[in-house]
Structure 1
Amino acid sequence: MSPNGEAFIFNPSAPEPPTRYAHARLAPTTQHRTIYISGIACVRPDTGEWPGATPKADGSGGYDLDVRVQTAAVLENIDNILKNATAGKGGVQNLIDAVVYVVDMERDYAGMNEEWNKVFPTRSVAPARATIGVKSLPDPRMLVEIKAVAVVEM
């Protein structure tokens, strides 16, 4: 069984789709803790750096934004949060549910999903997921934010 429990996939014999998520996850039945992760952005909590948000060279005050770099950084931040909150017993692979907020679905969904699929290569290990297009996020440097729930055996 995967560290995030058992995947329920409505048609497990169907080929892997381009978007990797389980239709549902059954939490492990062993002694575990459920961890609710706030909406997390790409900003590094220890350094304040913003991966995937580079100030424009023209000095306009704007940013060149990269959803792939940001998504990878968000998932890494979530992994670090879980590792630290569980004394190393958990990580991003323990996610059972996630909500991904994307500022521009047409422009950014595919890039976000490519990075997601690197972390979760099959539906059998991917958490349940919803992806929602939003008008904006709390900081203009943010293209993606992920809120999640994890289950970690203790």
Structure 2
Amino acid sequence: MSPNGQAFLSNPDLPEGLTRFPQARVAPPASTHKTIYVSGTACVRPDGTWEGVTDNADGTRTLDIRKQTAAVLANVDAIIKGASGGRGGVHNVIDAVVYILDMESQYAGMNEEWNKVFADRASAPARATIGVRELPDPRMLVEVKAVAVVEF
């Protein structure tokens, strides 16, 4: 194991991309709990499809913040489940950073989907939402980075 914990890759057989990072990193445990650090996650599914992205006949794209946010949170859930051997999921997230392109037009829609997953403040993780100029792919409206704690 690497000194910074165990890497989790959704599909370890895929070739490395332009940047090097796993979908999550499981920190070495000091107790029966492990901390899982989830890398910035988008709405792209493991099969390469993009939720909330519609390619139009004229060559433009229609992007949906609600569908993308729901897909991002589902992807975070799947990553945590995979990294924890099914012991945890999105509800184990203790801290998250949400990056969106336009706070004025996208924050409310992102928050609506967030609130479907986290029903109240008592169960929701700590969170920061940051408006950014751009994200790594033009199909992305939202990206989430998270930290989860799971009992092993």
SS of 1:150's equivalent in the other structure is strand
The within-5 A match list for 1:80-91 is: 80-91=78-89
Separation in structure 2 between the aligned mates of residue 73 and residue 106 of structure 1, nearest angstrom: 21
Partner of 1:31: 32
Amino acid at match of 1:119: V
Unpaired runs of 5+ in structure 2? 1-29
The within-5 A match list for 1:53-72 is: 53-58=53-58, 60=59, 62-72=60-70
Separation in structure 2 between the aligned mates of residue 96 and residue 57 of structure 1, nearest angstrom: 42
Amino acid at match of 2:115: N
Separation in structure 2 between the aligned mates of residue 37 and residue 129 of structure 1, nearest angstrom: 14
Partner of 1:96: 94
Separation in structure 2 between the aligned mates of residue 120 and residue 68 of structure 1, nearest angstrom: 15
Amino acid at match of 1:51: E
Deviation at 1:39, TM superposition (A): 0.2
Partner of 2:19: none
Deviation at 1:57, TM superposition (A): 2.3
Unpaired runs of 5+ in structure 1? 1-28
SS of 1:80's equivalent in the other structure is helix
Deviation at 1:56, TM superposition (A): 1.4
Deviation at 1:30, TM superposition (A): 6.3
How much is the aligned-residue C-alpha RMSD, in angstroms? 1.2
Deviation at 1:31, TM superposition (A): 1.9
Separation in structure 1 between the aligned mates of residue 149 and residue 79 of structure 2, nearest angstrom: 13
Q: Percent identity?
A: 67
SS of 1:113's equivalent in the other structure is helix
Deviation at 1:125, TM superposition (A): 0.3
Amino acid at match of 1:43: V
Q: Deviations over 1:71-122 (max 9, x none)?
A: 0000000000011111110000000000000001111000000000000010
Length, aligned pairs only = 123
Q: Taking structure 2 as the reference length, what is the TM-score of the superposition?
A: 0.79
Separation in structure 1 between the aligned mates of residue 91 and residue 138 of structure 2, nearest angstrom: 29
The within-5 A match list for 1:111-130 is: 111-130=109-128
1:44 aligns with 2:45: yes
Partner of 1:108: 106
SS of 1:57's equivalent in the other structure is coil
Q: Taking structure 1 as the reference length, what is the TM-score of the superposition?
A: 0.78
Separation in structure 2 between the aligned mates of residue 75 and residue 116 of structure 1, nearest angstrom: 8
